[in-house]
Amino acid sequence: MRKSENGIYRWLSGAGLLLIIYLSLVKVAGELNDYPAGDWKSEIYADKSGYYIYLPAAFIYGFYESSYPDSIDVRMGDGFSFYRGKLVTKYTCGVALLTSPFFLITHLIQLASGETADGFSLAYLNYTYMAAVFYLLAGMIALWLFLRKRFSAVVSTMTVLMIVAATNLFYYSFRDSLMSHVYSFALFSFLLLIAGNFIRKPGRVNLFLISLLASLIVIVRPANIIFLPLILLLDLNSFKELMARLGVLFTPVNLAIILFTVTLVLLPQLLYWNFISGSPFYYSYGNESFVFLNCPQMAEVMLSPNNGLLLYVPLFGFMVIGLIFMILTRKRNGWLIFSILALHIYLVSSWHMPGFGCGFGHRTFVEYYALLSIPLAWMIHLVIAGRKYWLMLFSGFIAVFLIWFNLKFSLAYSKCYGGGSSFDAYNQYVVRERLLPFVSGKYSYYTGYEQQDDYLKPGNRIYITDMAAEGRKVNRISPELAYSDAIMLPLEKLISGKIYYLEVTFQATSQGQADGLQLVCSVTNSDSLIFYHAQPVMVQAGAADFTWDKTELSMKLPFLPARGEMKLFFWNRGNAEIWIDDLKIELKSYLRTGLW
């Protein structure tokens, strides 16, 4: 009896802890996505609204345009549309099926509380975080259980944590929660676990679960059908063993279980396609297709600044190293993982848009991290089993860096890469967030207005007074003159690279309340204005005692090429006379990524 009570206590404690973790992570996801409904960064917009629209259609509006709010398709980013009065979305309904319990909970709460229950208000954004975190945790648990049958608890735990924290799975769980990938990751992880169990102990319950998971994988993202051969080939040792597995599957009862389950899962999609096209079998992507089959864009998939996988998820490189190790040492599943991964890389490289639009890293690989956990676990196992402390310390440093890099980059990312094929925007993230070491340029300028200065122009607003902060001269800005003397910096002579940061430090005082002072920075090149920014300055009134106030201002500049002339001056738009002294300017530029 006591053992039973202890077991119940441990189970309840574990469940309670898991619930606390779940609710905490849902809260984090909500705080990371504090966007209003209809905002392009919100969770029900563009592609995500295309996945989602099945739920409002099924439970609120139906599938005809006449019952929907006006222009709802445009307001939700054109992820779906209306054609001949019917709701049309090119996306399959798998994500909607998996998230439907969370949608219904949200919808019922809205109805019961008398709040807006239209399927598109702010409350419905929250359901996406509830669903994504649930499937993330479920997938982590399933993957851990799968790995635990092959590796130690420490290796399994470290592998799962690295996959979540050091890859873009984190981003698609917490910042783009309604894209299909976290749900596919969970399904892949469960299929690995159940397929492993079925191989060791064939049974109809496991066969039903495999059929269910395989069907859901396809209906969530049809291209992931290439993952399904794993059901037959996982841990395969011989052709004879393959024939035995086929023999188990292809019995009348088992085939009936498979057919019934697959039909049950796919039927809603087939009925919808028949509704919009007149046929249950329909290619919904129109003119979008695999146009690069003869020249797959693999370099773009891996190395483009626009979602190139290795640039956003460097851990993938270590997964590939682990896979090479598995093949060279003839570990089971090495060639299976290689074949599935190679086919996936080929297909996504052949798609008409190899970068797959807005995203963080190449999003189509997120679910395949479940499969790549095996080579990653082998890498971690080798480091730990080797018991070389220098290697463990070095590997730990690399792991911490990869986690730090991914989390910092994910949180800073603006949800869409705006630089095309140029590395400029990627380098801006590197510099702003200090993601990688880089070589920088620096230029400093100082004037106390005491000496003649070639950069100080026109120079006729310098005022001699015993009240200066230092020396006897200040830059005087009266309400009548409005503008201070300007600092004119010929950038090409002073600094190289691309200027990303400006810091200005000065002392200021005023007679009376100084409202309306601005620091103006402009860059011109060949008489063309390249950049302009006016930043407000707060100055404490010095009144009769001329109390000086030190001020520091900084500007993040948009990686301006060091060409042309930078002009810095103060603009007094108020009624008080303002004095400036001890002006220091510091520019920083980006030269290149690297240590030297």
> What total of structural domains would you count in the chain?
2
Residue 569 has what pLDDT? 94
Q: Is residue 15 part of a domain?
A: no
DSSP alpha helices (H): ranges in 354-388? 369-386
Q: Is residue 433 part of a domain?
A: no
Residue 5 has what pLDDT? 65
Question: What's the pLDDT tens digit per position in 544-554?
Answer: 566 888 899 99
- The fraction of the chain above a pLDDT of 90, given in percent, is 72
523 SS3 class:
strand
The 8-class DSSP code of residue 61 comes to I
The number of beta carbons lying within 10 Å of the beta carbon of residue 34 is: 10
| Same domain as 464, residue 409 | no
Beta strands, E only, 49-189 = 81-83, 86-88
Q: For residues 496 and 488, what is the distance between their CA atoms, to the nearest angstrom? A: 17
| Same domain as 34, residue 181 | yes
Residue at a domain's end among 427, 459, 487: 427
| Same domain as 357, residue 451 | no
Residue 480 has what pLDDT? 84
150-159: long-range pairs with CB below 8 Å, 24+: 150/374, 150/377, 151/377, 151/380, 151/381, 152/381, 152/384, 154/384, 155/377, 155/380, 155/381, 155/384, 156/377, 158/380, 158/399, 159/373, 159/376, 159/377, 159/380
Q: Looking at residues 75-81, what average pLDDT do you find?
A: 93
Residue 427 has what pLDDT? 87
CATH number at residue 532: 2.60.120.260
Q: Looking at residues 38-49, what average pLDDT do you find?
A: 89
Q: Please, what is the average pLDDT of the chain?
A: 92
- The per-residue b/e assignment along 544-583, b for 16 or more CB within 10 angstroms, e otherwise, is eebebbebeeeeebebbebebebbbbbbbebebbbbbbbb
| Same domain as 464, residue 361 | no
Residue at a domain's end among 389, 408, 427: 427
Residue 348 has what pLDDT? 96
Per the DSSP assignment, residues forming a β-bridge with 441 are 589
Is the pLDDT at 4 greater than 70, yes or no? no
Q: Which residues contact 389 (CB under 8 A, 6 or more apart)?
A: none
Is the pLDDT at 508 greater than 70, yes or no? yes
Give the residue, 10 or 186, on which the prediction is more confident.
186
Q: Is residue 13 part of a domain?
A: no
Is the pLDDT at 543 greater than 60, yes or no? no
Residue 514 has what pLDDT? 74
Question: What's the pLDDT tens digit per position in 177-195?
Answer: 999 999 999 999 999 999 9
Question: What's the pLDDT tens digit per position in 17-42?
Answer: 889 998 999 999 988 888 888 888 88
Question: What's the pLDDT tens digit per position in 54-69?
Answer: 999 999 999 999 999 9
| Same domain as 287, residue 351 | yes
Confidence of residue 244 (pLDDT cuts 50, 70, 90): very high
Confidence of residue 418 (pLDDT cuts 50, 70, 90): confident
Give the helix/strand (H/E) hosting 191: helix 181-200
Confidence of residue 423 (pLDDT cuts 50, 70, 90): confident
Residue at a domain's end among 427, 452, 467: 427
> Token pair for residue 274?
């028949």
Beta strands, E only, 409-472 = 438-447, 456-457, 462-464
Is the pLDDT at 16 greater than 90, yes or no? no
Q: Is residue 556 part of a domain?
A: yes
Confidence of residue 596 (pLDDT cuts 50, 70, 90): low
Residues spanned by the domain of 406: 20-427
Q: Looking at residues 414-430, what average pLDDT do you find?
A: 85
Q: Looking at residues 74-90, what average pLDDT do you find?
A: 94
Q: Is residue 2 part of a domain?
A: no
| Same domain as 151, residue 93 | yes
| Same domain as 414, residue 450 | no
Residue 547 has what pLDDT? 82
Residue 318 has what pLDDT? 96
| Same domain as 382, residue 450 | no
Question: What's the pLDDT tens digit per position in 337-356?
Answer: 999 999 999 999 999 999 99
Is the pLDDT at 169 greater than 80, yes or no? yes
Residue 541 has what pLDDT? 65
Q: Is residue 12 part of a domain?
A: no
| Same domain as 398, residue 377 | yes
Q: Is residue 423 part of a domain?
A: yes
Q: Looking at residues 78-86, what average pLDDT do you find?
A: 94
| Same domain as 384, residue 481 | no
| Same domain as 525, residue 402 | no
Q: Looking at residues 566-582, what average pLDDT do you find?
A: 90
Beta strands, E only, 512-596 = 517-525, 528-536, 549-561, 565-572, 577-593
Is the pLDDT at 458 greater than 80, yes or no? no
Q: Is residue 10 part of a domain?
A: no
Q: Looking at residues 1-30, what average pLDDT do you find?
A: 81
Sign of CA dihedral 30, 31, 33, 35: positive
Q: Looking at residues 90-113, what average pLDDT do you find?
A: 95
| Same domain as 92, residue 61 | yes
